[in-house]
Amino acid sequence: METSASKRESAFFFECPLPLRDYPTVTLGHGSGGRLSADLVEHLFLPAFDNAALRARGDGAVISIADMRLAISTDSFVVRPLFFPGGNIGELAVNGTVNDLAMCGAVPLHLSASFILEEGFELAQLNAIAHAMGEAAARAGVSIVTGDTKVVEKGHGDGVFINTTGIGVIPAGVHLAAERVRTGDVVLLSGTIGDHGMAIMSVREGLAFEAPIQSDTAPLHTLVQALLHLNAEAVHLMRDPTRGGVAAALNEIAQQARVGIVLDERAIPVRPAVSAACEMLGLDPLYVANEGKLIAIVAREHAEAMLAALRAHPLGEAAAIIGEVTDQHPGLVAMRTRIGATRVVPMPQGELLPRIC
Amino acid sequence: METSASKRESAFFFECPLPLRDYPTVTLGHGSGGRLSADLVEHLFLPAFDNAALRARGDGAVISIADMRLAISTDSFVVRPLFFPGGNIGELAVNGTVNDLAMCGAVPLHLSASFILEEGFELAQLNAIAHAMGEAAARAGVSIVTGDTKVVEKGHGDGVFINTTGIGVIPAGVHLAAERVRTGDVVLLSGTIGDHGMAIMSVREGLAFEAPIQSDTAPLHTLVQALLHLNAEAVHLMRDPTRGGVAAALNEIAQQARVGIVLDERAIPVRPAVSAACEMLGLDPLYVANEGKLIAIVAREHAEAMLAALRAHPLGEAAAIIGEVTDQHPGLVAMRTRIGATRVVPMPQGELLPRIC
């Protein structure tokens, strides 16, 4: 016992708080968007890169240059399979970064695209992916202005990995931040949950439904603009619930804003096919990734108007008020269940759905 | 014959000019920075993403937001080994993007960092890499403001791949562009060539020298500022000769500016150890990657002053005038050799040194 403990100690030439010491090597859970991902950011990357923009830990960073506020966001995409019902890795890579910029309140403008290709990958597939990216960029009103391509030997990559990084401008009057969230605020969700994750999982697991589950991948910038145009001041924070699902996104908000959140299970929209697939695989839709949904924390007095604005948008037809911010249990997310009980919705710990984006 | 030809045709559901049709799948050469990389950009990515900023094909893109000119550049790093004499993948990832911004004439400001980790990679190594990135960022005066981490299963990646994307501001009066290159301009090189590539190769090939060859990885933004402060107008174009070396960088310039370039072999500085290692491995240092060198195309009447400015900088002590721009043989690079002959220096075709950055 003692030998193995001291051996593990010596492998760690860095000082780290307890959470990381439990894992001397990278696990799939470190890419989950849940607790282990957060540990990696908090205990490894933040100390190494320390600066104020990074510490704010939004979906992107907000920086000021001259008198402009810009949002910058980056994401690498490793989804498997590359093509899935409702989309492909290229479309996902564009929409994902567009959405992270939109969650900062920014109007997305420009993207970079960087490819890590595996030797032997078909150029025809790469071309299809590149065209899907071009089309997604056109739909989102952004241009892909610069790029890079690297190739690794067969067996050292996996077909194609794509990084997109984007910048956008945050209009005056828009200020989304965890510290703006307050007791009594309302939690809006723009539509059904779990569609993206279960589209991927049903392909991987060979689940057959009458109509296949489609990914919800979509650019959310116009949905965001609809809310901000209504009343920018009343929108306090936005997140898109991707990896780790609604549960991870709301736990992050609760922790960063130091508030409690209470959800109403009956109010959370889930498609029957997604619900069925989740049941078959033993998954909770609250933890399943979305790629075309947003959560907005808004001032109570404007919540109904905001809900109406979401529902008037093609991407927000199934929008709902799913909960509220409370001064009880700060840092925790709770849920009133269908049967009237209340349970905690914890931050996801491990990794149930690897390589979902 | 006919069957296999038609089979190959049908696999290509995209229209592409001849060069790409020779390769139905990705080869290591597509990541070389040479002819095949250029084909991929020209015949696959440009048609898919088409826009003016991308067509300019600099080391980064130049975009305008309000009345500001910003440079954006992205690079993914897949270098092997991760730690090498003179640096590591983290330091390289920061310096590489800082340098691409600097080559646009920009003052680098902010970086994003995105990691694709392989399951089982040691967190202690990741920590060392992250700290090297933090230190490199501090040296270059940039902050790493946002990031992302993905994890792929063991055997589907290779330890760690890093993407960095950066933005910087281009000061008024700085205008670096291929169309500004003209006959009579002088080609400056900031120091010895081939150090980075041969540092990597000598580790991989187990070559032993009295003193190991060190990578030249370094941030070039202050060297660039030294030239621009002297006379921004007189600096017409800059490139850092990374993948594909000085040969690829100058061929790109000759093609984009539609000019000829003539080099003087005797003027090109190469360290004896690099020269010896190249000879052992049958490589030409002109084609070997550098990570801390720049090429500047400057107006002839300012060339001597610019050379002096480079030499006064710690990163430019071995700077030299290595050639000139001519109206002969537009699109081609030629070299007057040590023995007085003239030979063409072609664009590299395949891939001699995979995963050098």
Domain boundary among B146, B169, B192: B169
Q: What's residue A13's pLDDT?
A: 40
Q: Which residues of B281-302 are buried (b: 16+ CB within 10 A; e: fewer)?
A: bebebbbbbbbbbbbbbbbeeb
Q: What's residue B59's pLDDT?
A: 79
A95 and A230 both lie in a single domain: no
Q: How far is A150 from chain B (nearest CA, A)?
A: 5
According to DSSP, the residues that pair with B118 across neighbouring strands are B152
A192 and A107 both lie in a single domain: no
Give how many domains chain B has, as a whole number: 2
Q: How far is B349 from chain A (nearest CA, A)?
A: 15
B110 and B207 both lie in a single domain: no
A198 and A308 both lie in a single domain: yes
Whether B144 maps to a domain, the answer reads yes
At B214, which amino acid appears?
Q
A269 Cβ neighbours under 8 A, 6+ residues apart:
A189, A191, A192, A193, A318, A320
DSSP class of residue B94 equals H
CATH number for A70: 3.30.1330.10
B55 and B137 both lie in a single domain: yes
* Closest partner CB to A74 (pick from B44, B61, B148): B148
In tens, the pLDDT along B169-218 reads 999 999 999 999 999 999 999 999 999 999 999 999 888 777 789 999 99
**For residue A129, which of A77, A180, A166 has the smallest C-alpha distance?**
A77
* Closest partner CB to B61 (pick from A12, A76, A146): A146
Reported in sequence order, the residue ranges of chain A that DSSP labels E, i.e. its strands, are 61-65, 68-77, 83-84, 87-88, 107-118, 143-152, 160-169, 186-189, 235-239, 260-264, 295-298, 320-326, 333-336, 342-344
Lowest mean pLDDT among B126-130, B163-167, B350-354: B350-354
DSSP class of residue A43 equals I
Whether A44 maps to a domain, the answer reads no
| Residue B7 pLDDT level (bands cut at 50, 70, 90) | very low
The enclosing H or E element of A142 equals: none
Question: Could you tell me how far CA A204 lies from the centroid of its own chain?
Answer: 21
Long-range pairs for B279-283: beta carbons < 8 A, 24 or more residues apart: B280/B207, B281/B201, B281/B205, B281/B207, B283/B197, B283/B198, B283/B201, B283/B352, B283/B353
Q: Which residue in A50, A148, A162 has the most chain B C-beta atoms within 10 A of its own C-beta, making it the best mutation to test that interface?
A: A148
This complex has an ipTM of 0.93
Domain boundary among A152, A169, A186: A169
Q: For residue A151, which residues of chain B lie inside 8 Å, CB to CB?
A: 26-31, 351, 354
Can you spell out the DSSP letters for B165-200? EEEEEPPTT----GGG--TT-EEEE-S-SSHHHHHH
Contact between chains at B355 and A152 (C-beta distance less than 8 A): yes
Measured between alpha carbons, how far is A24 from A44 in angstroms, rounded to an integer? 12
Tell me whether B37 touches chain A (CB under 8 Å).
Answer: yes
Percentage, residues of chain B above pLDDT 90: 83
C-alpha dihedral sign at A248, A250, A256, A261: negative
Whether A32 maps to a domain, the answer reads no
Measured between alpha carbons, how far is A93 from A96 in angstroms, rounded to an integer? 5
Whether A254 maps to a domain, the answer reads yes
B97 and B70 both lie in a single domain: yes
Tell me whether B209 touches chain A (CB under 8 Å).
Answer: no
| Residue B19 pLDDT level (bands cut at 50, 70, 90) | low
| Residue B53 pLDDT level (bands cut at 50, 70, 90) | confident
Whether B1 maps to a domain, the answer reads no
Tell me whether B298 touches chain A (CB under 8 Å).
Answer: no
Tell me whether A2 touches chain B (CB under 8 Å).
Answer: no
Whether A112 maps to a domain, the answer reads yes
B129 and B100 both lie in a single domain: yes
Q: For residue A355, which residues of chain B lie inside 8 Å, CB to CB?
A: 150, 152-153
Q: What's residue A21's pLDDT?
A: 67
Tell me whether B121 touches chain A (CB under 8 Å).
Answer: yes
Whether A357 maps to a domain, the answer reads no
Question: Residue B329 sits in which domain range?
Answer: 178-344
Going residue by residue through chain A, which has 357 residues, state the pLDDT in tens, using 9 for 90 and above. 333 333 333 333 444 444 676 788 999 999 988 889 989 999 999 999 988 888 888 779 999 998 899 999 999 999 999 999 999 999 999 999 999 999 999 999 999 999 999 999 999 999 999 999 999 999 999 999 999 999 999 999 999 999 999 999 999 999 999 999 999 999 999 999 999 999 999 999 888 777 789 999 999 999 999 999 999 999 999 999 999 999 999 999 999 999 999 999 999 999 999 999 999 999 999 999 999 999 999 999 999 999 999 999 999 999 999 999 999 999 999 999 999 999 999 999 877 788 999
Lowest mean pLDDT among A9-13, B82-86, B90-94: A9-13
B230 and B331 both lie in a single domain: yes
A305 and A163 both lie in a single domain: no
CA atoms within 13 A on the CB side of A10: 6
Tell me whether B280 touches chain A (CB under 8 Å).
Answer: no
Whether A42 maps to a domain, the answer reads no
* Closest partner CB to B112 (pick from A72, A116, A149): A72
By DSSP bridging, strand B333-336 and strand B186-189 are unpaired
Measured between alpha carbons, how far is A72 from B111 in angstroms, rounded to an integer? 9
Q: For residue B121, which residues of chain A lie inside 8 Å, CB to CB?
A: 25-26
B220 and B311 both lie in a single domain: yes
Contact between chains at B120 and A149 (C-beta distance less than 8 A): no
| Residue B159 pLDDT level (bands cut at 50, 70, 90) | very high
Q: What's residue A5's pLDDT?
A: 37
A164 and A197 both lie in a single domain: no
Tell me whether B70 touches chain A (CB under 8 Å).
Answer: yes
B52 Cβ neighbours under 8 A, 6+ residues apart:
none
In tens, the pLDDT along B93-128 reads 999 999 999 999 999 999 999 999 999 999 999 999
Measured between alpha carbons, how far is B15 from B47 in angstroms, rounded to an integer? 10
Q: What's residue B117's pLDDT?
A: 98
The enclosing H or E element of B82 equals: none
Task: Give the max Cα distance, chain B.
Answer: 64
Average pLDDT, chain B: 92
Lowest mean pLDDT among A198-207, B145-154, B253-262, B326-335: A198-207
Q: For residue B147, which residues of chain A lie inside 8 Å, CB to CB?
A: 41, 45, 49, 54, 74
A279 Cβ neighbours under 8 A, 6+ residues apart:
none
| Three-state SS at A37 | helix
Backbone torsions φ then ψ of A55, nearest 5 degrees: -65, -25
Q: How far is B30 from chain A (nearest CA, A)?
A: 7
| Three-state SS at A80 | coil
B164, B95 Cβ separation under 8 angstroms: no
In tens, the pLDDT along B205-253 reads 888 777 789 999 999 999 999 999 999 999 999 999 999 999 999 999 9
Residue B8 pLDDT > 50: no
B102 and B185 both lie in a single domain: no
Packed helices B195-205 and B272-281: angle between N→C axes, nearest 10 degrees: 50
Q: For residue A149, which residues of chain B lie inside 8 Å, CB to CB?
A: 30-31, 37, 40-41, 45
Contact between chains at A78 and B12 (C-beta distance less than 8 A): no
Contact between chains at A112 and B169 (C-beta distance less than 8 A): no
Can you spell out the DSSP letters for B265-287? GGGS---HHHHHHHHHHT--GGG
Q: For residue B9, which residues of chain A lie inside 8 Å, CB to CB?
A: none
Q: What's residue A19's pLDDT?
A: 60
Domain boundary among A116, A134, A169: A169
